[in-house]
Amino acid sequence: MNTRPVALVTGSSRGIGVAIARKLAMDGFDLFVTGTAGNGPEDALADLRRHGGKALYLSGDISDLQVHDRWVNQIQEEAGRVDCLVNNAGMGAVVRGDFLDLRPENFDRVIAVNLRGTMFLTQAVLKLMLRQPREGGPRSIVNVTSVSASHASPERLDYCISKAGLAMWSQGLALRLAADGIGVFDVRPGIIRTDMTAGVSEKYDRLIADGLVPARRWGEGEDVANVVASLASGAFAFSTGSVIDVDGGLSIARL
């Protein structure tokens, strides 16, 4: 019987998600990764398998609740278990600008992906996770939110609202699942170099140079991945409900 732990990482076809999946594979996890493309990124999947485990691709849009049971059923059939769920899938604001001009359909899209879809996927995955015996190894849910869960950006307030909602979801989950031995964590990246930030890289280059980030550099996907993997290991299980900032000191209150 396969004794390798199993992780599901959403939104893992690029950026932070790829880095998280790679680090978990290096740490001995079998991987299920999700993305919206019909076919999986074969190069990325081959890279994950290079570390000795399985890596399978699940296609679909997390905002479509109908795909959740299909994903969980595939995990059940292929692995029979899931030990770690990393809720990484997300999107930025459809349009940045004055919140007074925000269109309802754009708000609905951001909430559907970043909050509603993530919440109900977690619900579906937990039905499988909770059937596993506690002595089978550490179990965890890691929600990748954002520094924007607590720091408002008026030009993309819909995004901030979605991440703040996910942060509260993390707190509620931690309380609900503590007695079941499932650790729940809220990982908050700051300014990370990804496709999502590529369009505003010059702006953030200037802000970082001016001291917005005390570490004086961009964050990288590997910075987030190292934190997620540590949480998935079970080493911080008694710290369930914790918020971990991955932002080079950006969130520290200063005078």
* pLDDT computed for residue 2 by the predictor: 65
* pLDDT computed for residue 12 by the predictor: 84
Residues near 21 by beta carbon (within 8 Å), at least 6 away in sequence: 7, 9, 12, 31, 33, 44, 48, 55
Whole-model pTM: value is 0.94
Reference 140, options 60, 238, 53; nearest CA is: 238
Catalytic residues: 159
| Dist CA 111 CA 254 (whole Å) | 31
Tokens representing 207 are 């802000």
Tokens representing 97 are 């600008």
Q: What are the start-end ranges of the H helices in 79-220? A: 104-111, 118-129, 157-177, 195-198, 201-209
Which helix or strand (DSSP H or E) is residue 90 part of?
none
Taking only the tens of pLDDT, the chain with its 255 residues reads 568 999 999 998 788 999 999 999 999 999 999 998 877 778 889 999 999 899 999 999 999 999 999 999 999 999 999 999 999 999 999 999 999 999 999 999 999 999 999 999 999 999 999 999 888 899 999 999 999 999 999 999 999 999 999 999 999 999 999 999 999 999 999 999 987 777 778 888 999 999 999 999 999 999 999 999 999 999 999 999 999 999 999 999 988
* pLDDT computed for residue 194 by the predictor: 82
* pLDDT computed for residue 124 by the predictor: 98
Domain assignments of the chain as residue spans, ordered by start: 6-191+224-246
Residue 207 has φ and ψ, to the nearest 5°, of -65, -40
Q: What is the CATH superfamily name and number for domain 6-191+224-246? A: NAD(P)-binding Rossmann-like Domain (3.40.50.720)
Residues near 172 by beta carbon (within 8 Å), at least 6 away in sequence: none
